[in-house]
Amino acid sequence: MNAKWIIKFAIVLAISSLTITAQAGTDDAALDAKTTAIIKRDFHDRGIAKADRVNQDELQATCSKYIDNLPDPLKAKLEAAQTKTIKWPSDGKYMGDWKAGEKLAQSGRGMTWSDKPDEPAGGNCYNCHRLSSMEIAYGTIGPSLLNFGKLRGNSVEVQRYVDGRIYNAKALNARANMPRFGFMGILTEAQIKDLVALLLDPESPVNK
């Protein structure tokens, strides 16, 4: 009797946990739909900040769907598509002025409704990275970039790598938690060159 009872109990338990999981799935989907509806209702175009920013593109929607379990083949497919978006410098030169790059790395300005369309945005790099040895206030979401050029050198391959990274970080890692500065129109080609120089110029405080 005991064995029978245990089997019955196990079956009931398995069925009820399946039901609970299925229920949670529906609740998640319903909650997602509700949240999206609230966001779409409450966000409006204002100045340069347009409400279409809340619409996820294919990469963002896929990452939201899989969260930490993005399957490798899908990740590779997304990265290939992101790589195609990179616009390399038209004159084939990657390095600009590191002094201008340092100012951009420090600046978190731009993209808000009160910013004017002709005002250049900043890169906000210090928010996530350590860069110059002189700056002691920095975030740690991204890896430290101190001595980046000293450690990696500044060959054309490395310059191109950094340029592509800043233009569209998701080309190299679809799950990278770094904004796509060129792709999203935050930074211009010339600004990205200044940042490449900040990381790679031997005279830059990143490498001195």
Contact residues: ligand HEC, CB under 6 A: 105, 123-125, 127-129, 141-143, 145, 162, 165-166, 173, 176-179, 181, 195, 199
- Residue 73, CA distances (Å) to 65, 79, 174 in order: 15, 10, 11
The smaller minimum CB distance to ligand HEC, of residues 25 and 185, is found at 185
Q: How far apart are CA 197 and CA 208, in angstroms?
A: 13
CB of 69 to ligand HEC, least distance (A): 17
> Which residue's entry shows tokens 């497919």?
77
CB of 181 to ligand HEC, least distance (A): 5
The smaller minimum CB distance to ligand HEC, of residues 59 and 105, is found at 105
Q: What is the DSSP letter of 167?
A: H
The smaller minimum CB distance to ligand HEC, of residues 48 and 176, is found at 176
Q: Which residues contact 119 (CB under 8 A, 6 or more apart)?
A: 109, 110
β-bridge partners, 49: 46
Q: What is the DSSP letter of 43?
A: -
CB of 172 to ligand HEC, least distance (A): 6
The smaller minimum CB distance to ligand HEC, of residues 13 and 80, is found at 80
CB of 200 to ligand HEC, least distance (A): 9
